[in-house]
Amino acid sequence: MMKQNLRSNREDFRRKFIVLCILQEYYSGNLWDQQDNWKDNLIKLTETKYQEEIDLFREGLKLVANPDIKAMFDYNRLFVGPGKLLAPPYESSYRNPKSLVMQKETLDVRAFYSTVGLISLNQNSQPDDFLALELEFMGFLLFNAMMYFYDDNDRSEHFINLYTRFLEEHLGKWISQHCEEILTQSTSDFCRGMALITKGFIEHELMLKEEIAV
Amino acid sequence: MNKGISRRSFIKGTAAAGAALGLSGAGFAFSGLKAADASEDMGTKVFQNACPRNCYDTCSILSTVQNGVLTKIEGNPLNTFTRGRVCAKGYTYTRRVYSPDRIKYPMRQKERGSGNWERISWDEAFTVIAQNILKIKKEYGSTLPICLNKYSGNFDILHYGIEGTLSSIGNTSRATGTPCWPAGIDSQTFDMGTIYNNDPEDFVNSKYLILWGVNPAWTSVHSMYFVEEAQRRGCKIVVIDPILTQTATKGDLYLQIKPSTDGALALGMARYILDNNLYDLDWLTANALGYEEFFHYLKQNITIDWAAEKTGLPKHVIESLAREYAAAKPANIWIGYGMQRHVNGGQNVRAIDALAAMTGNIGKSGGGAQYAQLETWGFNYHAMIQSKPEGSGGNGDRAININNFGAEVLAAKEPPIKMLWIACRNPMTQDPETSVVKKAFEAMDFVVTVDQFFNPTVEMSDIVLPSTTIFEAPGVNVSYWHYWLCLNEQAIKPMFEAKSDVEIAMGLSKKMNEIEPGSCTFPTSGDLKDWVGKEFNAGILKQFGLNDWKELEKGPAKAKAGLIAWEDGKFRTPSGKFEIWSEEAKKFGHLPMPVYREELKSGSEYPIRCISPHWKLNIHSQFQNIDWMQSIHNSPFIEIHPETAQKYGIQEKDNVKMYNDLGYIVLPAKITETVAHDIVVVYEAWYKDQNFNVNYTVKAIPSDMGKKATGMTGLAFHDNFVNIVKM
């Protein structure tokens, strides 16, 4: 049943991967060093055609044309500092009762990474549940599902199951709240747009997961 | 393959999008993740740490680290002073390290105070700082326009590398002095040659103990064990304080003295002791200089009636206090820092010292006039002492009064001050006259602040650099009170991109020398643990009975000798005696004897004295911003006596505006009889994201002493006169 569903959505893998890569790049902060590349990203995002299925994605796309310096200052207030972060990009900030990083919530994510033999490059300096890492991890799982798609269906399915589980147990548990914080606190169209895209995309993924489960 | 895309084209198609992730060949190119090695389980380890805060207790800590994550801290039971416990503040350390609010990366603000920050790399930060330093040096011919303001945020010995950083670039301006305790330091320096207290664990040998203007139940919790143990063994505990503190509630006798009149009480007691022949003439003859003159002064000028009127304490209470104190052998006095934050604070401490001397209590176990000690601080200061580069312009460093920082920075001429380097300090919340300090920041060309949390000082900076917590870099600590020496081991990797102050200095030096070879002498590399070793010398090893500093990896060590101050009777004054008459004091513009100096009195416009003591859950601007502290308490208040409140029509929790000609604060009333009628109390603190700062109303009024030992006079924080009105 599941295999059928995945096979029939093979094109989706590519689309999802593109979105995850761009979101990962956005949250890792690389964007601000390579703003010229943003036009390419915008084209890629548009080509996924998610705007035709996801309302928030469509709304978001309209806002993200111009990552200007005001957007960067806003981005730093939201995710980087030096002040109290308005929308911290860490799972534990939403799921730990006191919003602390490196607690059980972070270590659970670490443990999840280790089930496929991965660790954070900056383990114990960068919290494992940093959003850019969680997105990278999702991308990795998807990439592997894609890799083994033709040669090893079981293996491919294993990765897509992990993808679904991570979504269900981690990213999907907090991303909406995180994006809501951005939408409340942000002063730039760009960051609001990216929040809409992120929220729209991940919520769509969660919805698909439920369909698969049915 | 027919319907979708091939793997190859899939990779090709996403390569541009995945710039960060990247994809190469058939593999997934990682960005922030990597394949794990088998060896990455680090297990559980316990490390030696020390609390380096500006506090009597300097706790020995054991920290538990599981797989590289700090999971628990506890007191180290091997330290017999801190006895296996830390304080409420210390227990929040795991929260500080992993607070989501930490400053994570070097950042640059586009316009000071704008809140528009961009993240920069360490290399970029060093470049910008180096360029600014070199530009100033070129323009002014020296680095004197660069001013350092560093003080008590971290007393770990390696943190003196901050002073070293500035020395290594040339002659600079330095915030000089100390806000907290200098008047008392000078008093004891005039009287005995330096500050030197008995081992506080020796309290248990006292028969009588006066806690004079000190609140250890809040500010030195470990000392309270020894105070209470003394009490259990029959020692009478007397607490003298204008505020009925938590310590006062533990005493056998509490005396609510009028603020700043402590000298009058000591002199009144001295007169009684003199009149009743309760003094120790043998001790005075052998050890003291000027006691005859002092006795003459007492007889001519001091009466117990006068002391009673000055202090607000009944005559019979002063008499019985004097009688009991003189009769008990040994009798001890702990002189707090609070009582010397007045325009006559130093002179008052000298009067108390004289009281201890005339009763022969100095130099004895269970006796003494305890203030502080620096006997255990004989390190090499390897990180601090850096040579100046060749051809440094200017003739030595320039002192800027730390206690009037804003005004002196603004007034500095030839050359003016153009750049600030702030570390281990938060002048925008802790200095008096906040508005002037802000003006000074505004007038700068360039401000660098090194800190862990965003605060009003960071807000006024151009560059902020994230610093390590005590668990993230090695160091070594001693106390200015107890006699323990404790290693601070690096227990975890620094979070985010934090660096220690010494690493920052190394990075800056490297960059400066790249841009202009020879412009900075600070070593450009080195192992911080080795740097800890370089702080030790034969003298300090011998003092603590160590052959090698690495023995401290097993646990803290206590000094082997010198635990009873002045036991050998060799005072470090010019005469070698206890100088009740001090020519040295005269040289610094004071009266040679502890003659009473009038306290500052309130006027009609500002009839209420505001005392701004330490609060139990913070040290200055540290700790109150940590979540556990916020859960217990997160809002300032003003303590007002019920009758005063009634007079002003104020009820519990009413918003009260406290103001004077300098500024105002608005905060809720807490009505309590623990304060006197003519006093309000507002505890000094920095509350995250709240516009509260008692220093908006505090003027930079100097205390009487401090210049000799610390370079500058202290601050009369508690001579702040205000008015209040219900909002």
Closest C-alpha to B55, from B250, B218, B230: B218
Whether a cis peptide bond, with omega within 30° of 0, leads into B494 is: no
For B20, the closest of A25, A117, A140 (CB atoms) is: A25
Reduced to 3 states, what is the DSSP secondary structure of residue B89?
coil
| Count of alpha carbons within 13 angstroms of residue B571, beta-carbon side | 22
Residue with tokens 């204008």: B242
Q: Which of residues 82-101 of A touch B (CB under 8 A)?
A: 82-85, 88, 90, 92-93, 98-101
- Residue A33 confidence (pLDDT) above 90: no
> Is B551's Cβ below 8 Å from some Cβ in A?
no
Strands of the sheet with B60-66, listed across from one edge: B44-50, B60-66, B69-75
- Residue A162 confidence (pLDDT) above 90: yes
> B123-135 pLDDT, tens per residue?
999 999 999 999 9
Task: Find all residues with CB under 8 Å of B658, minimum gap 6, and list them.
Answer: B610, B638, B664, B665, B666, B667, B680, B682, B697, B722, B723, B724
pLDDT for residue B427: 97
For A100, the closest of B10, B95, B107 (CB atoms) is: B95
Closest C-alpha to A143, from A2, A9, A29, A21: A21
B117–A73 C-beta distance less than 8 A: yes
- Residue B197 confidence (pLDDT) above 80: yes
* ipTM, two decimals: 0.94
- How distant, in Å, are the alpha carbons of A164, A209, B32, B62, B303 from that of A200? 16, 14, 24, 47, 83
Opening angle at CA B55, ends B372 and B619, nearest 5:
140
> Is B40's Cβ below 8 Å from some Cβ in A?
yes
**Nearest residue of B to residue A29, measured between CA atoms:** B119
Closest C-alpha to A38, from A27, A25, A51, A49: A25
Residue B176 in tokens: 């000089």
CA A88/CA A175 separation, integer angstroms: 11
Helix axes of A104-115 and A131-147: crossing angle, nearest 10 degrees: 20
How many Å lie between the alpha carbon of B463 and the closest alpha carbon of chain A? 10
How much is the average pLDDT of B483-496?
Answer: 98
Q: Which of residues 405-464 of B touch A (CB under 8 A)?
A: 454, 458, 464
Residue B60 in tokens: 């020995």
Residue B363 in tokens: 């130099």
Task: Find all residues with CB under 8 Å of B489, minimum gap 6, and list them.
Answer: B47, B48, B49, B474, B553
B494–A82 C-beta distance less than 8 A: no
Whole-number mean pLDDT of chain B?
Answer: 95
> Is A145's Cβ below 8 Å from some Cβ in B?
no
The string of DSSP codes covering B416-473 is PP-EEEEES--HHHHSSSHHHHHHHHHH-SEEEEEESB--HHHHT-SEEEEB--TTSS
Tell how far CA B554 is from the center of its chain: 28
A73–B118 C-beta distance less than 8 A: yes
Q: Which element (helix H / strand E) includes A114?
A: helix A104-115
Write down the pTM of the prediction.
Answer: 0.94
- Residue B639 confidence (pLDDT) above 90: yes
Count other Cβ atoms within 10 Å, centred on residue B237: 21
Closest C-alpha to B179, from B214, B157, B152, B161: B152
Instruction: Return the percent helix, strand and coil in chain B, to nearest 5.
Output: 35, 20, 50
Are B678 and B642 in contact by the 8 Å Cβ rule? The answer is: no
**Nearest residue of A to residue B65, measured between CA atoms:** A124
Per-residue confidence band for A10, with pLDDT thresholds at 50, 70 and 90? low
Least confident of A148-152, B301-305, B547-551: A148-152
Are B184 and B411 in contact by the 8 Å Cβ rule? The answer is: no
B118–A140 C-beta distance less than 8 A: no
Least confident of B32-36, B41-45, B546-550: B41-45
Whole-number mean pLDDT of chain A?
Answer: 91
pLDDT for residue B287: 98
CB contacts of B16 in chain A (<8 Å) are 37, 40, 44
Are B117 and B87 in contact by the 8 Å Cβ rule? The answer is: no
CB contacts of A18 in chain B (<8 Å) are 13-14, 17-18
B107–A76 C-beta distance less than 8 A: yes
Per-residue confidence band for A212, with pLDDT thresholds at 50, 70 and 90? low
Least confident of A29-38, B105-114, B344-353, B409-418: A29-38
Helix axes of A131-147 and A153-166: crossing angle, nearest 10 degrees: 160
- Residue B15 confidence (pLDDT) above 60: no
CA B356/CA B270 separation, integer angstroms: 9
Q: Tell me the helices (H) and strands (E) count for chain B, helix number first.
A: 25, 30
Residue B621 in tokens: 């601007």
**How many residue contacts between A and B have a Cβ separation below 8 Å?**
184
Are B92 and B629 in contact by the 8 Å Cβ rule? The answer is: yes
> B520-546 pLDDT, tens per residue?
999 999 999 999 999 999 999 999 999
How many Å lie between the alpha carbon of B267 and the closest alpha carbon of chain A? 52
How many Å lie between the alpha carbon of A164 and the closest alpha carbon of chain B? 19
Per-residue confidence band for A208, with pLDDT thresholds at 50, 70 and 90? confident
For A82, the closest of B4, B70, B458 (CB atoms) is: B458
Q: Which of residues 16-75 of A touch B (CB under 8 A)?
A: 17-18, 21-22, 24-25, 28-30, 32, 34, 37, 40-41, 44, 72-73
Least confident of A109-123, B1-15, B296-310, B636-650: B1-15
For B28, the closest of A28, A119, A143 (CB atoms) is: A143
CB contacts of A181 in chain B (<8 Å) are none
Residue B180 in tokens: 């907290």
B454–A103 C-beta distance less than 8 A: no
Reduced to 3 states, what is the DSSP secondary structure of residue B571?
coil
**Nearest residue of A to residue B96, measured between CA atoms:** A100
> Is B180's Cβ below 8 Å from some Cβ in A?
no
> B423-443 pLDDT, tens per residue?
999 999 999 999 999 999 999
> Is B38's Cβ below 8 Å from some Cβ in A?
no
CA B340/CA A94 separation, integer angstroms: 47
> B73-93 pLDDT, tens per residue?
999 999 999 999 999 999 999
For A25, the closest of B10, B19, B34 (CB atoms) is: B19
> B554-584 pLDDT, tens per residue?
999 999 999 999 999 999 999 999 999 999 9
How much is the average pLDDT of B304-329?
Answer: 98
> A84-138 pLDDT, tens per residue?
999 999 999 999 998 899 999 999 999 999 999 999 999 999 999 999 999 999 9
B32–A136 C-beta distance less than 8 A: yes
